[in-house]
Amino acid sequence: MIHASPTIDGYTVCESFGRAPSYALYDDGTRSLRIIPNAGIHAEHGAGTGAIALLAASGVGSIKAPHLGPKAAGAAAAAGMKVDHVDAGTSFETLFPGAARI
pLDDT digits (tens, 9 = 90+) for 54-63: 999 999 999 9
- Taking a C-beta distance cutoff of 8 angstroms, is the pair 50, 69 a contact? no
Q: Which CATH architecture has domain 2-101?
A: 2-Layer Sandwich (3.30)
Pairing of strands 32-37, 100-101: parallel
Domain residue ranges of the chain, discontinuous segments joined by +: 2-101
Q: Is the pTM of this model over 0.85?
A: yes
pLDDT of residue 74: 96
Of the two residues 10 and 44, the one the predictor is more confident about is 10
pLDDT digits (tens, 9 = 90+) for 82-101: 999 999 999 999 999 988 88
